[in-house]
Amino acid sequence: MKKVLFVLSLCLIGFSAQSQEVKKKKSAKVTIEVDGICGMCKKRIETAALKTKGVKFAIWSVETHQLNLILDERKTDVETIQQNVLAVGHDVVLAEENILKATDEAYGSVHGCCKYRDEEIIKDHNGDLKKQKKQ
Protein backbone atom coordinates (compact mmCIF):
# COMPACT_ATOMS: atom_id res chain seq x y z
CA MET A 1 0.00 0.00 0.00
CA LYS A 2 2.86 2.37 0.82
CA LYS A 3 4.40 1.71 -2.57
CA VAL A 4 1.14 2.53 -4.35
CA LEU A 5 0.81 5.82 -2.44
CA PHE A 6 4.45 6.65 -3.18
CA VAL A 7 4.04 6.02 -6.93
CA LEU A 8 0.79 7.98 -6.96
CA SER A 9 2.49 10.90 -5.17
CA LEU A 10 5.33 10.93 -7.70
CA CYS A 11 2.85 11.02 -10.57
CA LEU A 12 0.97 13.95 -9.05
CA ILE A 13 4.20 15.86 -8.44
CA GLY A 14 5.28 15.21 -12.03
CA PHE A 15 2.00 16.46 -13.47
CA SER A 16 1.96 19.58 -11.30
CA ALA A 17 5.54 20.47 -12.22
CA GLN A 18 4.74 20.00 -15.90
CA SER A 19 1.66 22.23 -15.73
CA GLN A 20 3.70 25.08 -14.23
CA GLU A 21 6.00 25.14 -17.24
CA VAL A 22 5.56 28.29 -19.33
CA LYS A 23 4.52 27.57 -22.89
CA LYS A 24 6.72 29.31 -25.41
CA LYS A 25 4.94 30.48 -28.52
CA LYS A 26 6.01 29.57 -32.02
CA SER A 27 4.85 32.95 -33.38
CA ALA A 28 4.91 35.53 -30.60
CA LYS A 29 4.27 39.18 -31.48
CA VAL A 30 6.53 41.67 -29.71
CA THR A 31 7.11 45.42 -30.00
CA ILE A 32 10.35 47.13 -28.97
CA GLU A 33 11.07 50.85 -29.04
CA VAL A 34 14.37 51.59 -30.81
CA ASP A 35 15.96 54.98 -31.50
CA GLY A 36 16.93 55.84 -35.04
CA ILE A 37 16.30 58.60 -37.55
CA CYS A 38 16.27 57.56 -41.20
CA GLY A 39 15.89 54.85 -43.80
CA MET A 40 19.44 53.62 -43.30
CA CYS A 41 18.69 53.21 -39.58
CA LYS A 42 15.55 51.28 -40.55
CA LYS A 43 17.53 48.84 -42.67
CA ARG A 44 20.25 48.41 -40.02
CA ILE A 45 17.74 47.80 -37.18
CA GLU A 46 15.60 45.38 -39.19
CA THR A 47 18.65 43.46 -40.44
CA ALA A 48 20.04 43.11 -36.90
CA ALA A 49 16.70 41.75 -35.71
CA LEU A 50 16.23 39.39 -38.66
CA LYS A 51 19.74 37.95 -38.26
CA THR A 52 18.71 36.73 -34.83
CA LYS A 53 17.84 33.04 -35.02
CA GLY A 54 14.12 32.64 -34.42
CA VAL A 55 13.01 36.06 -35.70
CA LYS A 56 10.53 35.59 -38.54
CA PHE A 57 9.45 39.18 -39.18
CA ALA A 58 10.86 42.59 -38.27
CA ILE A 59 9.74 46.04 -39.35
CA TRP A 60 10.79 49.35 -37.78
CA SER A 61 8.90 52.63 -38.18
CA VAL A 62 10.87 55.86 -38.56
CA GLU A 63 7.90 57.87 -37.24
CA THR A 64 7.02 55.83 -34.15
CA HIS A 65 10.42 54.21 -33.42
CA GLN A 66 8.59 50.90 -32.90
CA LEU A 67 10.22 47.65 -33.97
CA ASN A 68 7.46 45.10 -34.53
CA LEU A 69 8.59 41.50 -34.42
CA ILE A 70 7.26 38.02 -34.86
CA LEU A 71 9.56 35.51 -33.21
CA ASP A 72 9.77 31.91 -32.15
CA GLU A 73 10.16 32.06 -28.36
CA ARG A 74 11.51 28.52 -28.40
CA LYS A 75 14.58 29.73 -30.31
CA THR A 76 15.21 33.28 -29.03
CA ASP A 77 14.06 35.89 -26.55
CA VAL A 78 13.55 39.65 -26.55
CA GLU A 79 16.80 40.31 -24.64
CA THR A 80 18.85 38.62 -27.39
CA ILE A 81 17.20 40.76 -30.05
CA GLN A 82 17.77 43.90 -27.97
CA GLN A 83 21.47 43.02 -27.64
CA ASN A 84 21.77 42.56 -31.41
CA VAL A 85 20.14 45.95 -32.04
CA LEU A 86 22.46 47.57 -29.48
CA ALA A 87 25.45 45.95 -31.19
CA VAL A 88 24.68 47.78 -34.45
CA GLY A 89 24.56 51.15 -32.67
CA HIS A 90 20.91 51.82 -31.79
CA ASP A 91 19.54 52.54 -28.31
CA VAL A 92 16.61 50.49 -27.00
CA VAL A 93 13.98 52.31 -24.91
CA LEU A 94 12.57 50.01 -22.23
CA ALA A 95 10.47 52.50 -20.25
CA GLU A 96 10.13 56.25 -19.85
CA GLU A 97 13.44 56.69 -18.04
CA ASN A 98 15.05 53.32 -18.72
CA ILE A 99 17.13 53.26 -21.89
CA LEU A 100 19.65 50.62 -22.95
CA LYS A 101 22.36 52.63 -24.68
CA ALA A 102 24.52 51.24 -27.43
CA THR A 103 28.23 51.38 -26.70
CA ASP A 104 30.12 54.43 -27.96
CA GLU A 105 32.01 52.15 -30.34
CA ALA A 106 28.79 50.70 -31.80
CA TYR A 107 27.16 54.14 -32.03
CA GLY A 108 30.30 55.50 -33.69
CA SER A 109 30.05 52.87 -36.40
CA VAL A 110 26.71 54.16 -37.74
CA HIS A 111 26.69 56.44 -40.79
CA GLY A 112 27.06 60.19 -40.19
CA CYS A 113 23.45 60.95 -41.06
CA CYS A 114 22.29 58.30 -38.57
CA LYS A 115 23.71 59.99 -35.47
CA TYR A 116 20.33 60.14 -33.73
CA ARG A 117 21.86 61.49 -30.49
CA ASP A 118 23.02 64.69 -32.24
CA GLU A 119 20.44 67.50 -32.15
CA GLU A 120 21.68 69.01 -35.44
CA ILE A 121 21.16 65.72 -37.25
CA ILE A 122 17.67 65.44 -35.75
CA LYS A 123 16.81 68.93 -37.02
CA ASP A 124 18.18 68.05 -40.47
CA HIS A 125 15.81 65.07 -40.59
CA ASN A 126 12.90 67.03 -39.09
CA GLY A 127 12.68 64.20 -36.61
CA ASP A 128 12.24 63.75 -32.93
CA LEU A 129 13.44 61.08 -30.56
CA LYS A 130 11.37 59.69 -27.72
CA LYS A 131 14.13 60.04 -25.15
CA GLN A 132 14.85 63.64 -26.13
CA LYS A 133 11.22 64.69 -25.64
CA LYS A 134 11.61 64.12 -21.92
CA GLN A 135 14.34 66.72 -21.48
Residue 1 covered by a domain:
no
> Taking residues 45-69, what's their average pLDDT?
95
Residue 11 covered by a domain:
no
Write the CATH number for 128: 3.30.70.100
Higher pLDDT, 15 or 43: 43
Residue 116 covered by a domain:
yes
pTM more than 0.85 = no
pLDDT at 25: 74
Domains: count for the chain: 1
Instruction: Write down the mean pLDDT value for the chain.
Output: 83
Range of the domain at 100: 28-133
How does residue 130 score in pLDDT terms, banded at 50, 70 and 90?
Answer: very low
What is the residue-wise DSSP string for the chain?
A: -HHHHHHHHHHHHHHHHHHTSPPPPSSEEEEEEE---SHHHHHHHHHHHHTSTTEEEEEE-TTT-EEEEEE-TTT--HHHHHHHHHHTT--EEEETTEEEPPPHHHHHTS-GGG-TT-HHHHHHTT---HHHHT-
How does residue 127 score in pLDDT terms, banded at 50, 70 and 90?
Answer: low
pLDDT at 50: 95
